[in-house]
Amino acid sequence: MSADELRDLLNAVPFRPFTVYPESQKAFRIADPDFALLTPNGRTLVVSQQLNDTLEVLDVPLIMRVEVETERAAES
């Protein structure tokens, strides 16, 4: 996963929620672009976990895959 691909997902109109999977295989869902920050150099993605109000700091090069929700799933 590249920083440019993440930027495209975060800036998409309309936005579609997606989940990132780093090497740890723990999933981080990004329901809204306001809950994620990609640093200017594209090396770090900070994700706000809405349920417990914590921040997760992810190394972009360690993100193995991203799953973008289908329109149908995003509407639920």
What is the band of 52 on the pLDDT scale with cuts at 50, 70, 90?
confident
Record: fold of 3-75: SH3 type barrels. (2.30.30)
Count CB atoms within 10 A of the CB of residue 55. 10
What is residue 53's predicted lDDT score, i.e. its pLDDT? 83
Mean pLDDT, rounded, of the chain: 91
What is residue 1's predicted lDDT score, i.e. its pLDDT? 82
- SS3 assignment for 8-25: HHHHCCCCCCEEEEECCC
| pLDDT at position 76 over 70 | no
Please give the model's pTM, rounded to 2 decimal places. Answer: 0.85
Domain boundaries, the chain: 3-75
The string of pLDDT tens digits covering residues 11-40 is: 999 999 999 999 887 899 999 999 999 999
